[in-house]
Amino acid sequence: MNPATWLLRILLFFFLSHFSLSADTLTQHHFVKDNDEIPGNIVVWVANRGNPIKDNSGILSIDPRGNLALFQSNQTLPVWSANISMAGTRNTIAQILDSGNLVLLQNNTKKAVLWQSFDYPTNIWISFQSLEVNVRTGLNRVYTSWKSPEDPGVRNYSFRMNPNRFPQMFLYQGSTPLWRSGTWTGQRWNEQCDFYGHCGPNAYCKPDLAGDFECTCFPGFESKLPQAWSIRDGAGGCVRKSGISLCGIGDRFVKFPRVKVPDTSAAHVDMSVGLKQCKEKCLRNCSCMAYASAYSEIGRGIGCLTWHGDLVDARTYAHTGQDLYIRVDKNELARYTKKGLLQKKAVLAVIIVSLAVAFLILVALLHCFVRRQRRTARTRRSNNMFSFVTFEDSLGVKEIDESRRNGDLPLFHLSTIAAATNNFSSDNKLGQGGFGPVYKGVLLNGNEIAVKRLSKYSGQGVQEFKNEIMLIAKLQHRNLVSMLGCCIEGEEKMLIYEFLPNKSLDSIIFDESKRSVLDWKKRLEIICGIARVMLYLHQDYRLRVLHRDLKASNVLLDATLNPKILDFGMARIFGGDQTEGDTKRVVGTYGYMSPEYAMHGHFSMKSDVYSFGVLLLEIITSKKNISYIPYSPSLNLVGQVWELWKEDKAMEVVDSALGDSILKCIQIALLCVQEHAADRPTMSTDVSMLSNESTLPSPKQPAFVEKKIHNGDGRSISEGTSSVNSVTVTMIQAR
């Protein structure tokens, strides 16, 4: 659906009325959509479909029992009723929600829904309405067609969820299936060959056969009615070939990639085993005809589906789908393998020719590249070892040269760092970022160090290298990681830091087996330490420093679990009275970026305050803001905490390993993540609120909280660890 169409659907509104569709003046209770840009009104739900009122005397009201009911004048029995049983109070109201759902509420609260029209659909499926079967309550949402455009009575066409074995959606005519969606594999639904059982049992539909009959028998089967197949009628399907004897020693499976698996209504489902165990399970059972994963993800399958009868309604796809494994005996396997080898030889010939041409082109390009690199290397060797450092402002080379002369920034030889890290052994590797790999090392004097090695192919790493040297070499604070020096030798550029044994904060608070070591007292100390160092960067240092990438993975913990901030590769420096700026290249990490920065490239000290608020919530809850998707309208941690805060239930989101005295920190965090930068406190105010018992203001709605009337696209945003500089405001890339 394009954005314009989606916006138009959001603008639709619903109202309740009676309607008449014919000269017989059948009057029913219904919803209609109404918009100036859409001609006419659309009936989306009808109450008394099979029991019309013959005149215009219908009255919709709430009866003495609290039920929503439709009456005809001068009658005591309702024409239609919600027909619910209630205990206790009968204080009910009826309301049409923005979604078009007619609900009967108890005590005027949306959380006490006694009845809703979405549970009893008619022939229209509207936005926000789901198709489901509730086994516990017996609720089955079934869509049924009208008898005619003038008669909303129930016809024999229905669309419903079939929950048997593995859920699928079916279109029925009476009890006869006309169409099947196939199981949701985590990748796609079907597109073509939509008619149910189009090729009959034990055959599959392949629509991309140019001009040929789309039906083909599975290996080991042949057409049941060859004459019918000759006239492109595959309804009879296929039967087992004569002479085929399964359950022998040589039984194997033929793999069919990219298929919609056969109807799973009679399949056996086992979600406790993987694909390998599924194969063994099927091979041990002589009645098992085929198997597949119940759910497919990239690179692996989950669960097991096995078929023990006819394989009905299968088809292939061009690009996506599941792998289906068909059981065959050794003779059929040999025939199928020979056929596959001939096809593979033709494909192999094409691949070899293509690779040969590509190799010649690659050799020519490599020759040009090597010649250019040699010229560049000769030029670089003639320059000063710091000549690569060119800054956009006056702090660049001057800062580094002064640090070198004053002894503030020791220079290490490459041989020293190589010996300390065991020649950059993989066993010494601590991690990998956008800058490059990080190694643990031990100097000859026994001191442990952490070495950030700039990747030769990292364009962003050079800029980070400049910022780190320019900032951390001069910044002094107990909650900042100390830089011990750097190494610049030939192509190698490295930063050497103090080694912190407890690694990063995220490796502890997001690990259920480790986070218990951080009780509330220690977490509060970590929060206060982060707040103090951010206040130092914003206010107490001679220049204003914006970190722009404050997150849990950039907070390290020393031996006594004291926090230390690092990674100033994305930092910006403000001089004089400057407090804010703009950029067309947005960098940072999803979930931590303030709305004005993420959407418009506008950053200020309040941008860091927003990141601090998100980090504060993560420390309190031990949940990630990006990956936390609770069963609520909010799709992130900030939204969930905000919803609970409004309902005075904020403690429900607190990490179970903590105590009760943390509501103040939750309130401070919500103040920091307010949507408008002007509403957020400064870091000095945050430090004051954390250390004092003064009354705090009430927070306003945070940024990036999904509204309840929206139906998000559900796209997952993967959390990365690297920073990307070359990004525009219109396309933000996560770190």
Count the Cβ atoms, other than its own, within 10 Å of residue 325. 20
Residue 532 has pLDDT above 70, yes or no: yes
Question: What is each CA distance from 571 to 284, 547, 555, 603, 606, in whole angstroms?
Answer: 62, 4, 15, 11, 14
Listed by start position, the domains of the chain span: 3-126, 178-338, 364-499, 503-735
Q: Model confidence over 595-651: pLDDT tens digits?
A: 898 888 899 999 999 999 999 999 999 998 875 444 444 568 888 889 889 888 888
Q: pTM to 2 decimals?
A: 0.45
Annotated catalytic residues are: 549
Both tokens of residue 494? 């490295």
The greatest distance separating any two alpha carbons of the chain, rounded to the nearest whole angstrom, comes to 104
Contact of 565 with 479, CB cutoff 8 Å: yes
Q: Which of the residue ranges 94-98, 113-117, 441-445, 656-660 has the most confident prediction, judged by mean pLDDT?
A: 441-445
Kind plus residue range of the DSSP H or E element containing 160: strand 151-162
Pick one of 3.30.200.20, 1.20.58.220, 3.40.50.300, 3.90.850.10 as the CATH number of 364-499. 3.30.200.20
Q: For residues 386 and 402, give the distance between their C-alpha atoms in angstroms, rounded to a whole number.
A: 12
Q: Which of 227-231, 482-486, 617-621 has the lowest mean pLDDT?
A: 227-231
Nearest Cα neighbor of 449 from 457, 437, 440, 458 is 440
What are residue 483's DSSP bridge partners?
497
Q: Model confidence over 6-55: pLDDT tens digits?
A: 333 333 445 566 666 554 444 444 443 444 444 456 788 888 887 888 77
Fold exhibited by the domain 503-735: Transferase(Phosphotransferase); domain 1 (1.10.510)
Residue 702 has pLDDT above 70, yes or no: yes
Q: Model confidence over 236-295: pLDDT tens digits?
A: 899 998 877 778 788 889 999 989 899 988 899 999 998 999 999 999 998 999 999 988
Order across the sheet with 151-162: list the strands: 143-148, 151-162, 168-173, 176-180
Nearest Cα neighbor of 74 from 55, 92, 91, 89 is 55
